[in-house]
Amino acid sequence: MSEYYKPHRKPDWNYGGPNWRLSRSKIDLFMSCPRCFYVDNKLGVARPPGFPFNLNSAVDKLLKKEFDAHRAKKTQHPLMKEYGIDAVPLQHPKMEEWRDSLRAGVSTLHKPTGMLVRGGVDDVWVYPSGELIVVDYKATSKDGKVSLDAEWQDGYKRQMETYQWLFRQNKFNVSETGFFVYVNGKTDRAAFDAKLEFDVSIIPYKGNDDWVEPTLHDIKKCLDSDVLPTPEPLCDYCNYRKAAAEVSSVAIAKTKPLVKVSAPKKSPSLESAETASLF
């Protein structure tokens, strides 16, 4: 078994167990495929993870260091000035806790469902009025200008809106507009020369977290049910499981040894009587 994947989670970490939490990424999983979400959180078998994007993680870490330097001084980052954002990185004693997506994050107990919801944010800025700004770092490498127009980036938008909702549940005044600090690796250089260069841009996004509350109720209903949700037609994992099961069953049927069953012996008199009845 791979060191990166352990398919059967201990029950304490499944829904109903003392360690279970509803993370931001699990909410997004439910939005994309309720069956995969159920198999993961109720039955304890998660999707196999992809290998970590170490370059993306390095960019994320360096951006945090860069903005933390301005956080300590209560000064604007040059990008904030360039984009006309009158804000500074927020100083708060829980900042590192909010960033810890694996063990902590921004959390709230959703009383209507009894679920503890949490998510780890990349950064938080603050306007002079005290209004908070949710900030997320993204890294890519593509030709042309980066944007949020692709359908697959809807997950980025839900991510931002979930963080905004979490901070509001913690009684913070949160701006509707969050920012994506988007870095785009340049590939038009003559040589690598042991360094990567990036264009860095800030993309504003006006969030709407109205979908979060009803989705949490849908999640609760899903998890409390004993019925496995139907596969999502566009889910690659569900389609893989279905296709693999189909071809595997055919292959097993072909290789299964045939067991010859002998007919029980009958007495001559009974056999002749049965034969006679056929005519």
CA gap 60, 122 in Å, rounded: 8
Residue 254's Cβ-count burial label (10 Å; 0-12, 13-18, 19+) is exposed
172 part of a folded domain: yes
pLDDT, position 271: 45
Summarised one tens digit per residue, pLDDT across range 23-47 is 999 999 999 999 999 999 999 999 9
Number of domains comprising the chain: 1
Summarised one tens digit per residue, pLDDT across range 53-85 is 778 888 889 999 999 999 999 999 999 999 999
Q: What is the mean pLDDT of the chain?
A: 89
252 part of a folded domain: no
44 part of a folded domain: no
Which of the four pLDDT bands, split at 50, 70 and 90, describes residue 273?
very low
86 part of a folded domain: yes
pLDDT, position 259: 58
Strand 177-185 to 132-140 pairing: parallel
Range of the domain at 166: 54-212
pLDDT, position 266: 53
Which of the four pLDDT bands, split at 50, 70 and 90, describes residue 265?
low
Torsion, Cα 230 213 151 31, to 10 degrees, reads -20
To the question of pTM greater than 0.75 for the whole model, the response is yes
181 part of a folded domain: yes
Which of the four pLDDT bands, split at 50, 70 and 90, describes residue 262?
low
pLDDT, position 117: 97
Summarised one tens digit per residue, pLDDT across range 209-239 is 999 999 999 999 999 999 999 999 999 999 9
106 part of a folded domain: yes
Q: Is the separation of the CB atoms in 37 and 29 below 8 Å?
A: yes
34 part of a folded domain: no
pLDDT, position 277: 35
190's tokens: 């003559």
Residue 226's Cβ-count burial label (10 Å; 0-12, 13-18, 19+) is exposed
267 part of a folded domain: no
Summarised one tens digit per residue, pLDDT across range 160-209 is 999 999 999 999 999 999 999 999 888 888 888 888 888 899 999 999 99
Percent of the chain with pLDDT over 90: 68
